[in-house]
Amino acid sequence: MKQRINLLIAFSVVALIVLSSVQCYLVKTTYDYKVAQFHTEIKNEIAQITNNYSDIDSFLAARKDALYKTLSENYIQGKNTKSDIKKGILENEFKDALTQKIQRKLERDLPNFKIDFAIILNKFILYKNAWKNDTIFSEKPFIENKLYGNLASLNHSFLVRNYVGTTNGTFENQDYKLLTEDSMYVSVIDWEMIILRRMTVILILSLFCILTLISLFVIAIKALIKQKKVSDVKTDFINNITHELKTPLATLGISTKILEQKNIRDNDENFNAIVNTISRQNNRLQNLIDQVMANSLAENEIELEKEKIETEDFLFSIVNDFKLTFPKIDIQTDFQTQKTNLILDKFHLTTALLNVLENAVKYGSNKIVVKTKQIENQFSIAIEDNGIGISKNKQALLFEKFYRVEQGNLHNTKGLGLGLYYVDQIIKAHQGTIAVMSDLGKGAVFTIMFKV
């Protein structure tokens, strides 16, 4: 059974991990999709704003074309090298003015986003009539080839568009053509936050689903383990009650056999001794059955007959009765309260307190102290013993029906595991609480609390 539960837990954990991974994968896919969608949205918006530079500033665009022309003609003349052309293009004097204009236009037309951009020169190719094309330069987009813009790096930026420009010219009776290509890269500040905000519902729902699944899993496993413990405890109970019934039944059997002998029946002394034994065993059987019957009642079926009692007096009388039954046990009182009137059921509470006191003796104690205290509106009765104690990991189930600390095999001490269950039910019926503080070998303290 234990192996089956472990296997079930292992399977469920694997299933949970797989489910969570699938969920994470789906969230990641959605995230990637949202990023792509966001890029397309920005590209489309920017496409509507600028077709080319002359849309933004025709005067500066004309100056740029003029610069390209001069640089090309100087190159044709042999006055410029290729690297002079690149330098001349990149160090253009209208860089800042055009950057500011494009920036302002982006701010005006896309007020919801804070956009940084860079326009990078990729190609500069000259075509001359007689010549083949002459590639002045053609490079991958580098931030170092930035023509305009305020972007410091191409990391986390994305391409929104390419501009291909052609300029025709005539120099020294020769026609030439100039082909340039530049790309616009943009980066939206806080784009991750924008996408996360767009994914809030999905994220919350996914988290909710995973948490619900985990909670359901934990609840189910807990219920399963509890069920298993209860079933173990019931098996223990059956073992214990069989054991408890065997002794009186065996004694009764032997006594009946003895009584069948005529010489015993004729001897008054022997006869009475046997009858006493039968009567004692009969009482023991009756007690066992009463105990089982009393505890088969559910909590709400306990009918209390409450009355106002002076609690300290009531406790004194229980302690005195206990002293008579267990004269060898040193039982003391340490009351820090006086004349506390509580509404209690004397009969049931006497049985409950005697259960706790008798347990102390049963589980190795020879000294018991009964203490009372009142903190604010809580009246507490603490029963301290110096017995064998209970290890911490066994305390959670102590008040469960049929639970006995030594499980599996039979207990050395007699009992059905019903005493503390009964105590707990009675205290609960009084709207009180009971708790235990103990450690193995260090005695135990049972504290009962009532509202005053």
- The token pair at 312 is 């300290």
Distance, CA of 423 to CA of 299 (rounded, Å): 11
Cβ closest to ligand ADP, residue 165 vs residue 364? 364
Of the candidates 163, 178, 175, 88, the residue with the CA atom closest to the CA atom of residue 124: 178
Q: With contact defined as beta carbons under 8 Å apart, do 71 and 136 qualify? A: no
Instruction: Report, in Å, the least distance between residue 398 CB and ligand ADP.
Output: 5
Burial class (CB in 10 A: 0-12, 13-18, 19+), 253: exposed
Size of the site for ligand ADP (CB under 6 A): 21
Only one residue has tokens 């009372």, namely: 372
By the rule CB under 6 A, 390 interacts with ligand ADP: yes
Per-residue binding string, ligand ADP, 410-449, x by CB under 6 A, is -----xxxxxxx----------------------x-----
> What do you get for the CA distance between the two ends of the chain, in Å?
47
Cβ closest to ligand ADP, residue 53 vs residue 421? 421
Instruction: Report, in Å, the least distance between residue 222 CB and ligand ADP.
Output: 22
Distance, CA of 430 to CA of 413 (rounded, Å): 30
Per-residue binding string, ligand ADP, 317-356, x by CB under 6 A, is ----------------------------------------
CA-to-CA separations, 120 to 53, 151, 268, in angstroms, rounded? 13, 10, 124
Cβ closest to ligand ADP, residue 115 vs residue 388? 388
Instruction: Report, in Å, the least distance between residue 247 CB and ligand ADP.
Output: 15
Region from 26-34, 209-217, 330-338, 384-392 binding ligand ADP, contact rule CB under 6 A: 384-392
Region from 43-51, 97-105, 163-171, 409-417 binding ligand ADP, contact rule CB under 6 A: 409-417
Instruction: Report, in Å, the least distance between residue 400 CB and ligand ADP.
Output: 9
Among 141, 149, 387, 432, interactor with ligand ADP by CB under 6 A:
387
Cβ closest to ligand ADP, residue 160 vs residue 331? 331
Contacts of 248 (CB under 8 A, 6+ apart): 281, 282, 284, 285, 288
Distance, CA of 365 to CA of 388 (rounded, Å): 7
- The token pair at 99 is 């950057």
Contacts of 21 (CB under 8 A, 6+ apart): none
Among 120, 178, 388, 426, interactor with ligand ADP by CB under 6 A:
388
Instruction: Report, in Å, the least distance between residue 256 CB and ligand ADP.
Output: 29
Which amino acid belongs to residue 349? L
Among 106, 398, 427, 434, interactor with ligand ADP by CB under 6 A:
398
Cβ-closest position to ligand ADP? 415
Helices 95-109 & 2-49 angle (0-180, nearest 10): 120
Residues linked to residue 168 through DSSP beta bridges, in sequence order: 177
Residue 137's H or E segment, with its range, is: strand 134-138
Instruction: Report, in Å, the least distance between residue 232 CB and ligand ADP.
Output: 14
Q: Which residues bind ligand ADP (CB under 6 A)?
A: 359-360, 362-363, 385, 387-390, 398, 403-405, 415-421, 444
